[in-house]
């Protein structure tokens, strides 16, 4: 799955989808592959396929992980009411990773809340914060001064 994720972060969604589909053929019950497939479909603009992959992920792994993946998927495909419902569900979970909340808000186009939650992810040392410079979920925030300030605080090279 390493190549698939690398392709996704490089915005080579077609290549990522091809790799992930190969993984699914080999390991159809491996739930997390569907989460990455949903992400690749979202970024490629294949909304119906993204929702289907999200539903497959939820079917294979009904957990809090499914909640935030589906919330982000719904957010990025423009189904904001469903995204908000899933976000509220995720926010009521025992442990909430601010990184994922930020991604959901970024998908809904709420840049202020996305940056607020990214700042929390930075402060709480979220494991995923190291992906800030490359994660495509935050492309709509990259040009903003608050995002750039966060990158500077993390000592990423320009």
| pLDDT on residue 62 | 86
- Map out the domains of the chain with their CATH numbers: 1-96 (1.25.40.10), 100-158 (no CATH)
| 41 pLDDT above the threshold of 80 | yes
| pLDDT on residue 64 | 87
pLDDT in tens, 125-139: 999 999 999 999 999
| 50 pLDDT above the threshold of 80 | yes
5 membership: H or E segment, kind and range: helix 2-9
In sequence order, the 6+-apart residues with CB closer than 8 A to the CB of 95 are: 64
For the chain, the straight-line distance linking the first and the last C-alpha, in angstroms and rounded, comes to: 28
| pLDDT on residue 77 | 97
User: Predicted confidence band at 35 (pLDDT cuts at 50, 70, 90)?
Assistant: very high
Query: What rounded mean pLDDT belongs to the chain?
Result: 94
For range 2-24, the mean pLDDT = 95
pLDDT in tens, 53-96: 999 999 998 888 889 999 999 999 999 999 999 999 999 998 89
For range 6-33, the mean pLDDT = 94
User: Predicted confidence band at 157 (pLDDT cuts at 50, 70, 90)?
Assistant: confident
Percent of the chain with pLDDT over 70: 100
With residues binned 3-state (H G I as helix, E B as strand, rest as coil), the percentages for the chain, rounded to 5, are 75, 0, 25
């Amino acid at each position: 799955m390493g190549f698939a994720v690398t392709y996704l972060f490089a915005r080579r969604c077609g290549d990522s989808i091809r790799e992930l589909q190969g993984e699914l053929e080999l390991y159809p019950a491996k739930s997390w592959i569907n989460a990455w497939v949903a992400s690749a479909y979202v970024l490629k603009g294949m909304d119906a396929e993204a929702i289907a992959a999200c539903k497959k992920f939820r079917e294979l792994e009904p957990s809090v992980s499914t909640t935030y993946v589906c919330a982000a998927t719904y957010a990025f495909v423009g189904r904001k009411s469903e995204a908000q419902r899933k976000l509220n569900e995720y926010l009521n979970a025992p442990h909430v990773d601010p990184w994922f909340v930020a991604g959901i808000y970024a998908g809904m186009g709420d840049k202020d809340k996305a940056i607020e939650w990214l700042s929390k992810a930075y402060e709480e040392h979220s494991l995923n914060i190291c992906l800030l410079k490359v994660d495509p979920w935050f492309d709509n925030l990259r040009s903003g001064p608050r995002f750039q300030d966060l990158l500077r605080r993390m000592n990423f090279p320009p």
